[in-house]
Amino acid sequence: MKKLFFTIFSLTLFISCNTDPKSSNSSVNDVKSMDSVNYISQRHLQNQRFENYNFKTEEQWDSLRTISHKKVLHKKGKVHPDIRTFGWHIYSNGSTYKNYNFSMLWGLSYFSYALQPETGSYKTIHQWKTTSLIDSAKTKGCKVFFSVSNFGKKNNTIFLRNQKARQTLIDSLSSLLALRSADGINIDFEGVSKKDKEHFTKFIIEISKNLKQDNPNYMISLCLYAIDWNDIFDIGVIDPYIDFYTLMGYDYYGSFSKTTGPVTPLKKSKKFGNGLETSVNYYKNKGVHFNKLIVGLPYYGAEWYTKKPEIGAVATRFKSHPKYQSIKELYIDSLKIPVQFDPKSASSYIIIKDSNKVYRQLFFEDVKSLSIKYNWIKSNRIGGVGIWALGYDDGYPELWDLLTEKFSQEQNAP
């Protein structure tokens, strides 16, 4: 990104992924980059970066983020009926949706209803009531969801243990969904304490029952952590109330990491620890059926300063989470830095030499790495693929075109 994400303190607790459900705690030490004290997701970072901007219009966000609306042409196609392609539109991405290929999206979620934990009302819903995004999506048959987010152990404890606040949230969402004729919600609660697991489970059941009572067609979806340190998802209990899950299949390495590494390694390795495959198998063993799972992948990277050029080196300092557009525009197109590829993690990366003793390492997803991960999702008959976040590639068509190549009904006819 052109601006750096702020470094902040937070607590998002996860439990390790393991393919053996009988030993779900045994692989915690395999997660080299993550730890329960320092971990913070890119979603949380982006929220901290922009939460104090009280903008009233998308044009203000466009100005802040220097969104140019450079028009791009997309390959024609319509998403295959058996695949759920899903993306999140972040309020701070303004009107980048004018370049979205809605025909290739099964659904999208507007991010977000920022929860006021003490009351259940919202701190802000940004442009939910006015954005043309929703109308544009519906015209192309794309379902529209509303994300509801709450970050941090303290905020989640305050909210989850307050029945009145929970009911206020449910009532508020009911009105806001009806206002825009939306299709449902996507719950993103990060940092839930193990002590609040039962409260979290109860809340999920409550909100699902209440919203479906308002409209039986509403769909309730839940964000799953890549590494669920605290085992807070009681899948066996909540599964009847969840229509689909969205796995946050990223942030295996990030601002919290002591060494450099891929944002989304595909397979477990000695160098980079657990990866996407481990996470998916963990939730499969917990009871998540693949036809209800959407695997989210990042359209952003992670960049660190190091003293050595070798990948996996000790990071001296985290730099930023640049979006795909910025990586293409600055490093690849302008500076002509060659893109390298790590086959073990199926991830692309760039090495930049700043001086004799200072390097920068940037890991990210591109057509090559995403193609491998999309093929893996298809071969395992997983329900769909998610994009965090839509608009991070604004001005470049190749990631949309790859989505068409892999998931359109025209390209994937029997």
Task: Please check whether residue 86 is in contact with residue 292, taking contact to mean a CB–CB distance below 8 angstroms.
Answer: no
Q: What is the residue type of 355?
A: S
The verdict on residue 54 lying in a domain is yes
Task: Please check whether residue 324 is in contact with residue 396, taking contact to mean a CB–CB distance below 8 angstroms.
Answer: yes
Residue in 366, 271, 365, 262 with CA at minimum distance from that of residue 304? 262
d(CA 294, CA 242): 13
The reported pLDDT for the residue numbered 15 is 29
Beta strands in 91-200 (DSSP E): 107-115, 122-124, 143-151, 184-190
Task: Please check whether residue 275 is in contact with residue 264, taking contact to mean a CB–CB distance below 8 angstroms.
Answer: yes
The reported pLDDT for the residue numbered 32 is 55
d(CA 224, CA 189): 9
The count of C-alpha atoms lying within 13 angstroms of the C-alpha of 275, restricted to the half-sphere facing its C-beta, is 19
The reported pLDDT for the residue numbered 262 is 98
Task: Look at the chain and report how many structural domains it folds into.
Answer: 1
> SS3 for 64?
helix
Which run of H or of E encompasses 86? strand 84-90
Give the residue numbers spanning the domain of 208. 14-301+366-407
The verdict on residue 212 lying in a domain is yes
The verdict on residue 413 lying in a domain is no
> SS3 for 108?
strand
Joined tokens for residue 79: 């998403």
**Residues 210-228: pLDDT tens digits?**
999 999 999 999 999 998 9
The DSSP string of 173-241 is HHHHHHHTT--EEEEEEE---GGGHHHHHHHHHHHHHHHHHH-TT-EEEEEE-SSEET----HHHHGGG
DSSP state of 12: -
Residue 64's φ and ψ, nearest 5 degrees, are -65, -40
The reported pLDDT for the residue numbered 35 is 53
The DSSP string of 29-56 is GG-SS--TTT---HHHHHHHHHTT----
The reported pLDDT for the residue numbered 355 is 82
d(CA 310, CA 351): 9
Instruction: For residue 317, give every residue at least 6 positions away whose Cβ sits within 8 Å of its Cβ, in sequence order, or none.
Output: 304, 305
Which run of H or of E encompasses 14? strand 14-15
Task: Please check whether residue 185 is in contact with residue 221, taking contact to mean a CB–CB distance below 8 angstroms.
Answer: yes
273 φ/ψ sector (left φ>0, alpha ψ -120 to 50, else beta): left
Q: What is the CATH number of the domain that holds 63?
A: 3.20.20.80
The verdict on residue 330 lying in a domain is no
The verdict on residue 321 lying in a domain is no
DSSP-derived pairing of the beta strands 359-364 and 302-306: antiparallel
The verdict on residue 315 lying in a domain is no
d(CA 61, CA 91): 8
The verdict on residue 1 lying in a domain is no
- Model confidence pTM above 0.75: yes
The reported pLDDT for the residue numbered 37 is 58
d(CA 352, CA 305): 9
Chain centre to alpha carbon of residue 112 = 13
> SS3 for 119?
coil
Task: Please check whether residue 149 is in contact with residue 111, taking contact to mean a CB–CB distance below 8 angstroms.
Answer: yes
Dihedral angle computed from the Cα positions of residues 57, 106, 299 and 377, in that order, rounded to the nearest 10 degrees: 160
Q: Kindly give the confidence (pLDDT) of every residue in the chain, 414 residues in length, as a single tens digit, with 9 standing for 90 and above.
A: 333 333 332 323 232 333 333 333 323 234 555 555 578 888 888 888 888 898 999 999 999 988 877 889 999 999 999 999 999 999 999 999 999 999 999 999 999 999 999 999 999 999 999 999 999 999 999 999 999 999 999 999 999 999 999 999 999 999 999 999 999 999 999 999 999 999 999 999 999 999 999 999 999 999 999 989 899 999 999 999 999 999 999 999 999 999 999 999 999 999 999 999 999 999 999 999 999 999 999 999 999 999 999 999 999 999 999 999 999 999 999 999 999 999 999 999 999 999 888 999 999 999 999 999 999 999 999 999 999 999 999 999 999 999 999 999 988 766
Residue with tokens 């990491």: 257
The verdict on residue 338 lying in a domain is no
Task: Please check whether residue 233 is in contact with residue 187, taking contact to mean a CB–CB distance below 8 angstroms.
Answer: no
**How many CB atoms within 10 Å of residue 180?**
18
Residue with tokens 């197109």: 333
